[in-house]
Structure 1
Amino acid sequence: MTTPETSRSAQREIKAPAERVWDLLATPDEHHRFDGSDMVGESLTPGKLTRVGDVFTMEMLYVSPEVTDRYRTDNHVTVLDAPRCVEWAVAPAGKELLGWTWRYELEPLGPSLTLVTLTNDWSGTPERVMRRFGVPLVSEAQLAVSLELLAAAVESF
């Protein structure tokens, strides 16, 4: 018997100090620059994340052969440990949490090298929500692309 998959992760070394990577991750206005799924749009919440409990709203776009859907998400910060880890739980704007999270963990490997781990975890997502939204929505390859884009964005930030 196999254990069902409940999360996906990707890792990448980024040639920048953890604080510089953190500055980008803690700024929702920049998140569209490092989205490997092509779903994340503009932030409707200006400024930086400052504490657990912050909520930032994002414009989103879902495209499949059957449907194109524009919507908004409220992202509830559940972990904020600068410059080591940020995590948020996702909800449709104004609605209840869906049960999945996005997490970035930063491990300094030197003064200008950081190991970044990106994890999408849906272990708290009810089966009915998984079916409705097609969870998991993002592949490991898309997570890896997100980290490639993050590396490029950090260099120009």
Structure 2
Amino acid sequence: MHTVDQENVSATLTVAAPAARVFAVLADPTTHAAIDGTGWVQEAVDRAPLTEVGQIFRMHMYHPNHPDGDYQVANQIHALDPPRNIGWLTGQEKDDGHLEFGGWLWRYDLAPLGPSETEVTLTYDWSAVPQSIREYIQFPPFGPEHLTNSLHHLAELAAPTS
């Protein structure tokens, strides 16, 4: 199930894993390429676990419509409450080392449904994107099914191994 509001899109899925396990997968940048439903996320540059608001983690990306094809994003944690939620703003590092964010963010909200099930809601929010960026990027830049795909990938990664 997914919903599209004016400025954000979200999807919800029940995952057969405890919230702490799901959160651990999300807090590990090396899993993000496997979670990604778009195929744009390639590999984590910063591989340390995500542990605090303000933390920066970079990812190698690829998009056929990007001027360079291969590029890098710098994400900054803006929400972190284990095992309830985790979210980040996506931006890029300028030549002078300054980080610039586009105004869109990703957020996962986890609600335990018992010891071995978690309801996970993934939200992509672009309400803070300035008009200058909206003139050349269409939001959302993917269909809502990408969020659902990501949640299914997350469910597979978090599933208990037997």
TM-score by length of structure 2 reads 0.88
Please state if 1:29 is matched with 2:30: yes
Q: What is the total number of aligned residue pairs between the two structures?
A: 153
Matches for 1:65-144 after TM superposition, within 5 Å: 69-94=69-94, 95-144=99-148
* Greater share of helix: 1
Deviations 1:60-82, CA, capped at 9 Å, x for gaps? 11124x97711100000001100
- In 1, are the aligned partners of 2:17 and 2:160 still within 8 Å (CA)? no
- Equivalent in the alignment of 2:47: 46
Q: Once superposed, which parts of structure 1, at least 4 consecutive aligned residues long, lie more than 6 Å away? A: none
In structure 1, the gaps of 5 or more residues are none
- In 1, are the aligned partners of 2:12 and 2:120 still within 8 Å (CA)? yes
Amino acid at match of 1:150: L
Q: Determine the C-alpha separation between the residues in 1 that align with 2:17 and 2:82.
A: 15
- In 1, are the aligned partners of 2:57 and 2:76 still within 8 Å (CA)? yes
TM-superposed CA distance for 1:154, in Å, is: 1.1
Partner SS for 1:96: strand
Two-structure CA RMSD over aligned residues (Å): 1.7
Q: Determine the C-alpha separation between the residues in 2 that align with 1:76 and 1:23.
A: 17
From 136, 147, 153, the counterpart of 2:151:
147
Q: Determine the C-alpha separation between the residues in 2 that align with 1:36 and 1:83.
A: 22
Partner SS for 2:86: strand
In structure 2, the gaps of 5 or more residues are none
Q: Determine the C-alpha separation between the residues in 2 that align with 1:155 and 1:41.
A: 22
